[in-house]
Amino acid sequence: MAKLIVGGLLLSVLSGCVSQSDMKGKAFIFPQESATAYVSLIPQARKSLQNFTLCLKAFTDLTRPYSLFSYSTRTKDNEILLFVQKAGEYMFYVGNSEVTFKAPLNPYAPTHICVSWESASGIAEFWLDGKPLGRKGLRKGYTVGAEAKIIIGQEQDSFGGHFEAKQSFVGEMWEVSLWDHVVPLREMAGGCYIGNLINWQALAFEENGYVVTKPKLWA
Ligand SMILES: [Ca+2]
């Protein structure tokens, strides 16, 4: 398996697709609605997960549903999914099951989202803009699959594809980070983004379609 991964990465590097860069101070802009614009994030290790923490910052004025973070495996398209049903209503999926966290409406401000999940208890803890939105439980005892396509900008309904323009993200996203353990989210309120699986300061990624990188507008 390791050989395959290394081989795959080498192949991608040779074909010039994968970039690795320090994205500190920068954001991905998804300037138009489409079913073609997205960024694939390549984790620093491929491993199954019994715990994880995901953080990101985003700005959008969308009022329709949209995806923020889509982690799909061959067997489960919503292995990990952060999806906004409508402003202030965050759906969080693990292993195709979901819980919803509701927040007060503040639709035109950038949002800082952190969510952690722990298999032993099934507890998902959700923080928005440095404040807790509570804890809910799902998929107790589950293990998240290792071989994944991790995509921002689009929502996967199959492994690495089956996008819908009407679920695409239009706006800006920055400081996306993923850890293979539960990080105390109270400590993340300041905006830490050096995940050990996805590290914004050493981000391996592949851009597809109309995606632009620019200095971030918000903190
Ligand atoms: Ca899906």
Q: Which of 107, 72, 108, 75 is nearest to 93 (CA)?
A: 72
157 Cα–ligand 1 center, Å: 4
Q: Which helix (H) or strand (E) holds 86?
A: strand 80-86
d(CA 54, CA 84): 15
Q: What is the pLDDT of residues 170-200, one digit of tens each?
A: 999 999 999 999 999 988 877 789 999 999 9
70 Cα–ligand 1 center, Å: 8
The answer to whether 178 touches 43, Cβ cutoff 8 Å, is yes
Give the pTM.
Answer: 0.91
15 Cα–ligand 1 center, Å: 28
| Ordered structural domains, the chain, with CATH | 19-215 (2.60.120.200)
Ligand 1 (ion): residues with CB under 5 Å are 77-78, 157
CB atoms within 10 A of CB 103: 16
The answer to whether 210 touches 20, Cβ cutoff 8 Å, is no
CA 116 to chain CA centroid, nearest Å: 12
Q: Which helix (H) or strand (E) holds 8?
A: helix 2-14
30 Cα–ligand 1 center, Å: 19
200 Cα–ligand 1 center, Å: 24
Q: In what order do the strands lie in the sheet with 149-152?
A: 19-21, 203-208, 38-41, 149-152, 66-72, 80-86, 89-94, 97-102
Q: What is the pLDDT of residues 65-118, one digit of tens each?
A: 999 999 999 999 999 999 999 989 999 999 999 999 999 887 678 999 999 999
31 Cα–ligand 1 center, Å: 22
17 Cα–ligand 1 center, Å: 25
d(CA 194, CA 186): 16
Band of the pLDDT at 17, cuts 50, 70, 90? low
Q: Which of 209, 211, 205 is nearest to 9 (CA)?
A: 205
Cα→Cα distances 5→11, 144, 188, Å: 10, 18, 31
